Homo-oligomer: A and B are copies of this chain.
C-alpha cells in the first residue's frame, strides 16, 4: 500500500490529459462516472479532481462539468513579486490623494476600457499619485472601481493614503485577490486629465488596467491608471522555472 487511492486517480487523470486522451477544452467524465470507473467513492474522486484543479489543469462549473484547461502543470517563467519594490511596481503603492468618489454605471465605453459587462455598477475612487516630493509633477491618475457594497471604504481610503485598496478590502471584508489580470497599452492623454497631471492633452501616456479576482473568479475591483510618458515604467523579471518548482 504505497500510494493512496485518490493519488492514483489523480495520477491516472493527469496522464490521460497529458497523453491527449482528454484533450484541452474537452470535458472529463462526471464524478459519478469516475466513481464507477475507479471503484472509488465520490469523496475520493473529488479529492483527486481538486488536486488537478489546484494545478490549474482543469476548471469546474456546476452542471457544465469539469473542463480540461491545460496539458501540463503551469511551468515556464515565474515572476517574483516578493520585494517591496515589486509590490510598488505592481500595486502602485505611491502616496495617493483622493480627488473624488462617485457611484457610476458602466456605459459601452467604460465597459470596454475595464473589460466588464455594460451596465455594471461600480463605486469609483479617483486619486492622484504623487512621488513624495511636493514640487514634482504627479506620477499618474488612478480610477479604482470597487463593488458598491464597499462604498464605505471611501473614508478609509482617504485616511490611509499609502495602503493598497486591495489590502483594505482584504482587511475589512476578508475578500482576497486570488488572481490579478493586468493590461498595459499606450493612449493619448485625455483632455480632462491633462491639467491635473501637468501634461499636454494628446500627449503619449501609459495606461494600466488591473482586474482583481477572488477565489471564485469574480472580479471585485478594477483599477485604471494613466501615467504620462516618462513618469512610470512597468518592470518585470521572469525567471525560468524548473520541474521541481525551483528557479
Chain A 168-194 interface residues, beta-carbon cutoff 8 Å to B: 174, 176-189
Mark A residues whose CB is within 8 Å of B. Answer: 11, 14, 54-56, 70, 72-83, 86, 90, 174, 176-189, 202-206, 227-230, 232-240, 245-247
Name A70's contact: one of B72, B83, B90, B179 (CB within 8 Å): B83
The 4 closest A-B pairs by CB, nearest first: A204-B204, A186-B206, A76-B81, A79-B79
Q: Are B179 and A237 in contact (CB under 8 A)?
A: yes
| A240 surroundings in chain B (CB, below 8 A) | 176-179
Q: Which residue of B lies closest to A209 (CB)?
A: B233
Q: Are A238 and B180 in contact (CB under 8 A)?
A: yes
Q: Are B235 and A183 in contact (CB under 8 A)?
A: yes
Name A185's contact: one of B78, B179, B230 (CB within 8 Å): B230
Name A237's contact: one of B181, B189, B233 (CB within 8 Å): B181
Q: Are A76 and B80 in contact (CB under 8 A)?
A: yes
Do A78 and B75 contact each other (CB < 8 Å), given the known contacts A183-B235, A187-B204? Answer: no
Q: Which residue of B lies closest to A3 (CB)?
A: B174
